[in-house]
Structure 1
Amino acid sequence: MSHETASAHGALPPSSSPAASARRARRLYHAYSIESLRDIAQRTLPRAVFDFYDGGAEDESTLKANRAAFARHAILPRFLVDVSRIDTTMNLLGKPVSMPLAVAPTGAIGYGWPFGDVAIARAAGAAGLPYALPTSSTSSIERVAREAPHTRLWFQSYMLRKRDFTMGLIQRARDADYEALIITIDMPTGGKRERDMRNDFGLPFRFSARNVLDFASRPGWVARLARSGMPVLENMLGFVPDTLHTSTIASSVGKNYDPAFNWDDLARIREVWPRRMLVKGVLHPDDAARVADLGCDGLVVSNHGGRQLDGAPAALDALPAIVQAVSGRLDILVDGGVRRGADIVKALALGAQAVMVGRPLLYGVSAGGEAGAARALFLLREELLRTMRLSGIASIGDIGPHVLAPFAAR
């Protein structure tokens, strides 16, 4: 079977009217923060789709903890420093990036914006940043490589029960010249995502009075879907027929993933993958040390955005012990709760080389396609520059533990 979908999905969808495009551009111009983009996305998307992007597991305590962890740290500024020129560049996995950030893999983007994977990949490339394409993308490995040729592409792989299919995806990423492979390890089963249950967003997908009315409440979104067709998980074609549509897989994350995947399996992938490799979902320092022992090039400190184990620690809180455990043997990224440029400074001060951001790009692309994704990255970069200038930090290399002071208890 072809790795592309039917001809209806063979190109990006037709553009909306000039008037609609102009209104969208004005909205984006007046979005002054990631939270503003989130507000636009919430007004634009049906509740079920927005909640799938925005929500977490069970009581969402870990989802909230990710943001709260950043609030517990203060930046202690120094003044009378020459900050007329700010350098945000650095090397990540051995290659230069425009700022210490990579775009995290986020699934089912096609429900937020048709072919949103391509839109985000293009925005990342234009900003000089890597983009990680997820297994559950709505644009294939090959499509993104073809339509975002100037972007540093990483491929994120889950470990599916059908191991041969998984290794086929990894081989396809190698053939398409993706520079890095990310193995996500924190999904032996799916988290209990109760927002999806409340929205009738389940497996198998059933149209109900609740979700039909929900979809109908967003006519602009319906029109985009009508122009582009139902989103399809292009990388999953040929895997399980009833998981082709994003509506089918949304609330059943984990059903097709392999709970038997272990350290020996990870070592075998490291042996056959010849390029850069990262492991995502690390929270325990002993696991981080084992990842380094396998010869991986990086790891991502992550609790899956609070979407898996509710009650797991905030990723930022887990970061310092992991930094100590790996002793500089590989690059460390952290994700979960990054919403401001100041958050990037705090993560680097605690020992990360870079952050990964997912939801900010989901909000941006849902608000305005590629331009919305670009707006999200612009906001983060502008805030990073401003934070560094206001803190007396002239370059990324100057960020260390000394820039932080603990907030008093609130």
Structure 2
Amino acid sequence: MLKHSLLRYAVEKWRDAWKISEFLMTVEGLKKALTHLHYHVRLVAIATCASAAVNRPQEESIFFKSTFKLPPELQPLLLAALHDPERTIQMAAALCQYAIGRPSAHARDILRDILWQGESNSWAAAQCLAIEGEASQAVIERLLSQHFASSTMLDKQQAANLLVSISRKTTLVRSLLAEELNSANSSTRVLAFNKVLSTYTNNSIQALGKLAMGSVIHDELDKGPFSWRVEALVLMGQLKIMTAKLLPTFLRCLKDDFVVVRKQACLTAASLQIKDETILNQLIELTQNDPSCEVKEVAINTLRRIGCLTPSLQENLLWVLHHEEEPRVRIAVCQALKSLDVKGPELQNVLQEHIEELMKSNGYSLEGDKSMVHRITDQVRVLYLSMLDVMVDANFTVRAASHTQSFEVNLGAFGPTNL
């Protein structure tokens, strides 16, 4: 039934392109028209036979008691039309042979010859050949051309359905689609790719498009210069593509020699939201050991956005908070700790250590002010999560007084600069 509807669309679109109206003709009238002196009369007769074939009911019902059958006396005339001196008549006759379900080698050769000759003829030829299972490069390229060039949504869907059918037999569809999508810049490719997917209502068609684009991205990550790798990573994030083949090349980007590539790989991981253990471990490694503070910050923010809190991640964040000297990195850690809802005595101890270090650096004796220290400790125990906000963007003032002196500690002072 699907094959019949595909054929009907091909024939009717071709007839509309040639502006051939429907005519009610008897068998005798068709016989005379098929041998008429003027080629346009012959063309109308052949189109009438083809249209009758594709518009016949497929099953008998209470509404349709019989199906269309080509009168035997017309078949020799239609076969003879394959040798007509007019090229257009040959093409119409070949199309008609497909419509009536009797494609021949001669009809196939005619359609192959006109694949790139004329818009309507070549489009009809590509459809007929694809419907019968032809998987040649010429057919695939013509279908892709129609898909990208046509302004008609039905044409795009017809081409997409035929491409999916062919792709079950050959990987050539994916390769040629990848070439079509591999345009000069990332924005053009994203628009083209989204244009493809917007017409694909079938999951298998969407998968085909993503596989094709994945092949392009893999090649650029694997063999391209650093600017190509950055562009490919941007595409991965925008199009939400990650395959088993792409994963190893993506992981290599997290260890790339260029800072800009490592940063973009982190941003792409955040966009993809993939909680793969290998990716998470590599991001954790970056937060501690990457020589670039920018990469450390982006890696921490990526882990925060992915939102997968593990014991190793929590331990690493606390380690970075305790040992990292760069303020922007510590700010990112504080934001991650709050977003990931990290709790426990380990975090409390880290915060308390920073408070004690701050007091010492300002010349206050912890030994002589036990009551004050206890008060601060109690405050930390109750409000340590709130202090994460304080450390990022607020000032929290604790006032305490001893029997000999009073002082003010501005906890905002041990924010990003002093922690």
- TM-score by length of structure 2 reads 0.22
Give the greater-gyration-radius structure (CA).
2
- TM-score by length of structure 1 reads 0.23
More strand by share: 1
Higher relative contact order structure (alpha carbons within 8 Å, sequence separation ≥ 6): 1
More helix by share: 2
